[in-house]
Amino acid sequence: MGFKRPQGAVGMQKQLSPLTMRLPVLLAALVAVATCTKTFVGHQVLRVIPQSDEELQKVQELQDLEHLQLDFWLAPRKLGLPVDIRVPFPSLQAVKAHLEATGVSYSIMIEDVQALLDEEQREMLRSSRQLPLDTTTFNYDAYHTIDEIYNFMDMLVAENPNLVSKLEIGRSTENRPLYVLKFSTGGTNRPAVWIDTGIHSREWVTQASGVWFARKIVQDHANNEGVASILETMDIFLEIVTNPDGYAYTHTTDRMWRKTRSRHSGAICVGVDPNRNWDAGFGDAGASAYSCSETYHGPYPNSEPEVKSIVDFVKSHGNIKAFVSIHSYSQLLLYPYGYTETPAPNAQELHEISAKAVAALSSLYGTQYEYGSIITTIYRASGSTVDWTYNQGIKYSFTFELRDTGRYGFLLPARQIVPTAEETWLALKVIMEHARDNIY
Amino acid sequence: MPGLRSSPPALLLLFLLAVPRGSRAGQALEPGSRSAAAAARVALQYRNCQAGSLGGLRALGQVRKATLKNIPESGHKYYLQFSTEDYRTGEDAGNCLATVLYPKKKSRPVVSIKCSHTKDQKEIQEEDNRFYQRIRHQSKPITANNIPDSYGNIEPALEPVWALAVAGSSSIMWEKSTETLGYFLAQVKSVRQWIRKDDFLEFDYTVLLHEMPTQEIISCHMRLTWLPGRPLKVKHFCASEGHGAEEGSGAESGSAAAPSAEKGASF
């Protein structure tokens, strides 16, 4: 277990040393003790600055009173130098009385040592890379590794066993589990919403947003607001790390990696674009047959286990009513088709939903989105996720491209994670509510 | 006014096909259209490198108006009106009027651009001087990697070096842009300063460009020199293969050396 390193100089100072410099070391030491046996509830740290020889003597007398169990953080030395004393709760009255009786003035540096220790411990957990204890201490303002996200999922399930469960829908090429969180208040095979993030591994704001969405669903349910009403009649499925092999690779080797990490015989390069591998216009214009390309469609549809596992899940579930696949960057809300210019049968409805969703998104921070069909709004793309889900009959199939529009691109600063997730959530709610209110 | 623009399916295509080519008025484009935004971006890339200023770097705000004309024997010409933002701060930086001609023959886009200011020239010059001094006063030649880092952070001390990379790579991106291929600066992979006897700053950069719609990451080497008030001098060389060219298991049917030759890789 690691402790924060002391921020300032340690030990006796010739001149006045600010308490803050000494604090982290001493607190760290106390934390070590506190986590074992002792508690410091009600303990206070008093500061005395002796101005006369009598005052100095009075303070020095305190050192001999062992039964008081005083802990001198700064021992009495000479006039004008501060003396800091940690006083256990039972001794407080006696010490203060002793000082006041002799007219020695003191100030209370720390009102309650335990409170400060608790805060320090929380702070250490927040800022360190060690695993947080619960989803309250988890840092949503940071990008996380796969292990941290998988740990988060387990914590979320453990804290909310009646709402959240974790499903393993398959394994990646490198044998990493593919996990989906299911949010359900009951029923049997209720109509459902599917959301996936991180299918393209370099789009880090999406996995990070997925983590935030998971917690948001739980919070809304607990507070009986937001999506609580949707959960009364529908289930939500959320796959946060849809391409774990790629995601691991962006951490260890290449931050710009997009595809899966599969090696197919006859292919010069590694990886298939999981958003060109679906069986909708597979291999048509809008994807590449060249394995080294970022839009390589793969040797055949669903060749990628990351894709096949979702296909199998969707088919066997049979009751998914809305499907949202999340990417970055460009700030777009897209609906089918990408592989053909033929408009989707309910393109008009999808267009209207998009307008509403984008307005909701924009209302929070003013972020501007464009919207429309994939082929007219971004580019022709074949074998893409939502073209397949749409052709399966999932009428409300959408793709998001989150922040930004190119200034940072894939390397979106972590401070933008939560604002991005918050605004996107408003758009997702519009889509989910429309699906709930237009059950088919 | 926030522009919530849409691209009604197929309507735009019908419109473009219906209007006779070479019509003098040109065809109005939806301000939200990708090609209008891409052309506006090219115009700004051109301006960002021509201006030779770091304090004056701009990013695209919103396209307000866009028209497309086919100039017979010449190419496609875009007429654009758009707002801009300060590249670093995101603050409103003023509006621009620009034309961008994508020549029929494969060569760089021809850009003319005129912009209004929210910052006056003196302010921009002072910023440039501040950037310049920050680099000059380093005790050792600057070397660095990964700007921004994986988490989107740029160390404050490296901001001037990053701004210089934005300005320099703008020249690469402008030159490479076509009506169907556009670029974004994805990351500064590495930078190394060369100390000169004169006052000019000189740097070697490796920058990663994100190419759309192919999604490729193109690695480019860039040598640039700069003095505030002078145009940027940029020499560059980009690798022809995408960054994914690595291991694999065997020979492939079809051309391995020409990704642009296969169907559908670009729009």
Model confidence pLDDT, tens digit, residues A290-307: 999 999 999 999 999 999
Residue A119 pLDDT: 67
Report, as an integer, the average pLDDT of A378-382: 95
CB A10 within 8 A of CB A34: no
Q: Do A370 and B6 touch (CB under 8 A)?
A: yes
Q: Do B248 and A416 touch (CB under 8 A)?
A: no
CB A246 within 8 A of CB A261: yes
Residue A56 pLDDT: 87
Pair B125, B86 in one domain: no
Above 50 in pLDDT, residue A426? yes
Residue B267 pLDDT: 25
Residue A66 pLDDT: 83
Report, as an integer, the average pLDDT of B229-237: 94
Pair B77, B197 in one domain: no
Nearest residue of A to residue B212, measured between CA atoms = A379
Report, as an integer, the average pLDDT of A113-129: 66
Q: Comparing C-alpha atoms, which of B232, B197, B248, B240 is closest to residue B216?
A: B240
3-state DSSP call for residue A141? Answer: coil
Q: Do B149 and A411 touch (CB under 8 A)?
A: yes
Q: Is B48 part of any domain?
A: yes
The residue type found at B65 is K
Confidence band, pLDDT 50/70/90 cuts, at residue B239: very high
CB B206 within 8 A of CB B180: no
Residue B256 pLDDT: 39
Interface size between A and B, measured as CB pairs under 8 A: 182
Report, as an integer, the average pLDDT of A6-11: 40
Above 60 in pLDDT, residue B2? no
Distance in Å, alpha carbon of B228 to nearest chain A alpha carbon: 23
pLDDT tens digits for range A319-336:
999 999 999 999 999 999
Pair B129, B258 in one domain: yes
Q: Is B218 part of any domain?
A: yes
3-state DSSP call for residue B194? Answer: strand
Above 70 in pLDDT, residue B69? yes
Nearest residue of B to residue A299, measured between CA atoms = B252
Residue B38 pLDDT: 96
Lookup: tokens for A326:
């999340």
Q: Where in chain A is the domain with CATH 3.40.630.10?
A: 134-437
Q: Between B138 and A116, where is the model more confident?
A: B138
Place domain A44-111 in its CATH homologous superfamily: Metallocarboxypeptidase-like (3.30.70.340)
Distance in Å, alpha carbon of A58 to nearest chain B alpha carbon: 52
- A144, A215, A405, A420 from A425: Cα distances, Å: 20, 12, 19, 8
Residue A31 pLDDT: 55
Q: Is B192 part of any domain?
A: yes
Above 80 in pLDDT, residue A309? yes
Report, as an integer, the average pLDDT of A174-195: 98
Lookup: tokens for B159:
């901001």
Q: Which of A55, A304, A401, A423 is catalytic?
A: A401
Confidence band, pLDDT 50/70/90 cuts, at residue B257: very low
Of B115, B139, B155, the residue that ends a domain is B115
Place domain A134-437 in its CATH homologous superfamily: Zn peptidases (3.40.630.10)
Residue A43 pLDDT: 87
pLDDT above 90 covers a percentage of chain B that reads 73
Of B98, B115, B132, the residue that ends a domain is B115
Residue B263 pLDDT: 33
Above 60 in pLDDT, residue B204? yes
Residue A17 pLDDT: 52
Domain count, chain B: 2
Q: Is B267 part of any domain?
A: no
Residue A58 pLDDT: 86
* Distance from C-alpha of A400 to C-alpha of A437, rounded to nearest angstrom: 22
Report, as an integer, the average pLDDT of B14-26: 53
All residues of chain B having their beta carbon less than 8 Å from the beta carbon of residue A249 are none
pLDDT tens digits for range A209-260:
999 999 999 999 999 999 999 999 999 999 999 999 999 999 999 999 999 9
Report, as an integer, the average pLDDT of B55-64: 96
Pair B147, B220 in one domain: yes
Q: Which CATH number does the domain housing residue B136 bear?
A: 3.10.450.10
3-state DSSP call for residue A109? Answer: strand
Across all residues in chain B, what is the average pLDDT? 85
pLDDT tens digits for range A71-89:
888 878 778 777 888 898 8
pLDDT tens digits for range A143-157:
999 999 999 999 999
Pair B75, B37 in one domain: yes
All residues of chain A having their beta carbon less than 8 Å from the beta carbon of residue B265 are 288, 290, 293, 295
* Distance from C-alpha of A382 to C-alpha of A282, rounded to nearest angstrom: 6
Pair B8, B96 in one domain: yes
Pair B251, B198 in one domain: yes
Would you call A304 a catalytic residue per the annotation? no
Nearest residue of A to residue B213, measured between CA atoms = A379
Above 90 in pLDDT, residue A415? yes
Which of A352, A379, A384 to probe the B interface (max B CBs under 10 A)?
A379
* Distance from C-alpha of A39 to C-alpha of A310, rounded to nearest angstrom: 51
Cβ density class A33-63: b for 16+ within 10 Å, e for less? ebeeeeebeebbbbbbbbeeeebbebbeebe
Q: Is B174 part of any domain?
A: yes
Q: Do B7 and A268 touch (CB under 8 A)?
A: no
pLDDT tens digits for range B81-128:
999 999 999 999 999 999 999 999 889 999 999 999 998 889 999 999
- Interior CA angle at A253 toward A249 and A257, to 5°? 55
Residue B1 pLDDT: 42
Q: Between A93 and A174, where is the model more confident?
A: A174
CB proximity list for B69: less than 8 A, separation 6 or greater: B22, B23, B26, B27, B76, B77, B78, B79
| Phi–psi pair at B144, nearest 5 degrees | -160, 165
Pair B32, B161 in one domain: no
Above 70 in pLDDT, residue B258? no
Whole-model pTM?
Answer: 0.77
CB proximity list for B37: less than 8 A, separation 6 or greater: B60, B63
Pair B14, B135 in one domain: no
Q: Which domain holds residue B125?
A: 121-262
All residues of chain A having their beta carbon less than 8 Å from the beta carbon of residue B244 are 257, 259, 269-271, 292-294
Q: Is B153 part of any domain?
A: yes
CB proximity list for B217: less than 8 A, separation 6 or greater: A256, A294, B186, B208, B209, B210, B211, B242, B243, B244
Lookup: tokens for A262:
């599969």
CB B191 within 8 A of CB B204: yes
All residues of chain B having their beta carbon less than 8 Å from the beta carbon of residue A261 are none
All residues of chain B having their beta carbon less than 8 Å from the beta carbon of residue A366 are 2
Q: Are strands B6-7 and B58-71 parallel, antiparallel or unpaired?
A: unpaired
> How many Cα atoms occupy the beta-carbon half-sphere of B35 within 13 Å?
25
Lookup: tokens for A5:
């390193």
* Distance from C-alpha of A124 to C-alpha of A2, rounded to nearest angstrom: 9
Q: Where in chain A is the domain with CATH 3.30.70.340?
A: 44-111
Pair B225, B194 in one domain: yes
Please report the DSSP string for A340-378 in residue order: -SSPPTTHHHHHHHHHHHHHHHHHHH----EEEEHHHHT
* Distance from C-alpha of A149 to C-alpha of B70, rounded to nearest angstrom: 52
Of B69, B97, B115, the residue that ends a domain is B115
Pair B84, B168 in one domain: no
Pair B57, B131 in one domain: no
pLDDT tens digits for range A15-53:
445 555 565 556 556 555 555 556 788 888 888 888 888
> Among A9-18, A101-110, A359-368, which stretch is predicted with the lowest mean pLDDT?
A9-18
* Distance from C-alpha of B215 to C-alpha of B144, rounded to nearest angstrom: 26
